[in-house]
């Protein structure tokens, strides 16, 4: 119960990764504030989590993390129920396109801007809303989700740039908010989520071959790393990028 008496806000909580993090945090004793852009998926995720904890320990608020007023509503609901929010897990991100890989010369301005916003703006909103309370309490943990694609990925220049931005933002925030708040990020390799369904089988095989462990990652692998970075066992870790990647080591 490493997160007993703590409250965590988790964005994109209805997806496989966010839901796995929520379940692990509930198992570790935390209260959770869950938000996702899909109200239907969010309700289903909360119902699925009800076997891990009483409903009183779970708050759900549908919101687009990129929208400031909707983000404010999430934070307000969490604070009404639990008084304070100690931990922020920024999961929201990805590529909103039916085709993941698009050559850079064919990359539209709309997708480029949309990808940067999706992966960075929600993080900016929740950090700005929650850090003052963490500073007042003298304790806080922020975990951002980047990607090994931050090192560059053909056909995903927009996504790679956005995730490199997440890693750089993490380091900057760690410097700004020290010593009271630890800020770290996790860079997954390919995780078994809905994104895999949009990828060619050959690309998936290539990913698996690049790993030392010869398998795709699981949402639970990310949840385990997030739980560690959010607890006091990681008190002397900040500004770090933890690669949960089966041995792939990204470098710019």
User: Is the separation of the CB atoms in 187 and 249 below 8 Å?
Assistant: no
Report residue 225 as tokens. 């790393």
First-to-last alpha carbon distance for the chain, in angstroms, is 37
**25, 126, 159, 177: which is the annotated catalytic residue?**
159
CA–CA separation, 42 and 175 (whole Å): 34
User: Is the separation of the CB atoms in 146 and 186 below 8 Å?
Assistant: yes
Whether 159 is catalytic: yes
- For residue 24, the tally of other CB atoms under 10 A from its CB is 22
CA–CA separation, 152 and 159 (whole Å): 9
User: Is the separation of the CB atoms in 91 and 11 below 8 Å?
Assistant: yes
Q: Work out whether strand 87-90 and strand 181-188 pair parallel, antiparallel, or are unpaired.
A: unpaired
Tell me which residue of 185, 61, 83 sits closest to 127, measured CA to CA.
185
Q: How many CA atoms lie within 13 A of 184 on its CB side?
A: 23
DSSP 8-state assignment for residue 84: -
- Residue found by looking up tokens 């002397």 in the block: 236
Positions marked catalytic? 159
């Amino acid at each position: 119960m490493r997160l007993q008496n703590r409250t965590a806000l988790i964005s994109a909580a209805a997806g496989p990764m966010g839901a796995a993090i929520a379940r692990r945090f509930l198992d570790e004793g935390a209260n959770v504030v869950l938000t996702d852009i899909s109200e239907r998926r969010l309700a289903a995720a909360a119902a699925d989590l009800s076997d891990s904890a009483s409903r009183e320990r779970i708050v759900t608020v549908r919101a687009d993390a990129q929208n400031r007023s909707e983000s404010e509503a999430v934070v307000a609901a969490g604070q009404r129920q639990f008084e304070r929010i100690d931990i922020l897990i920024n999961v929201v991100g990805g590529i909103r396109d039916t085709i993941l890989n698009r050559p850079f010369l064919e990359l539209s301005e709309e997708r480029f801007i949309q990808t940067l916003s999706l992966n960075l703006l929600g993080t900016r909103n929740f950090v700005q809303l929650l850090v003052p309370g963490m500073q007042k309490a003298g304790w806080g943990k922020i975990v951002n989700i980047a990607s090994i694609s931050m090192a560059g990925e053909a056909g995903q220049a927009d996504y790679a740039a956005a995730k490199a931005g997440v890693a750089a933002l993490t380091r900057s925030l760690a410097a700004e908010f020290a010593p009271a708040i630890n800020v770290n990020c996790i860079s997954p390799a390919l995780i078994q989520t809905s994104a895999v369904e949009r990828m060619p089988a050959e690309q998936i095989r290539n990913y698996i071959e690049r790993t030392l462990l010869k398998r795709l990652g699981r949402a639970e692998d990310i949840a385990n790393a997030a739980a560690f970075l959010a607890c006091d066992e990681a008190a002397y870790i900040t500004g770090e990028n933890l690669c949960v990647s089966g041995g792939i080591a990204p470098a710019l």
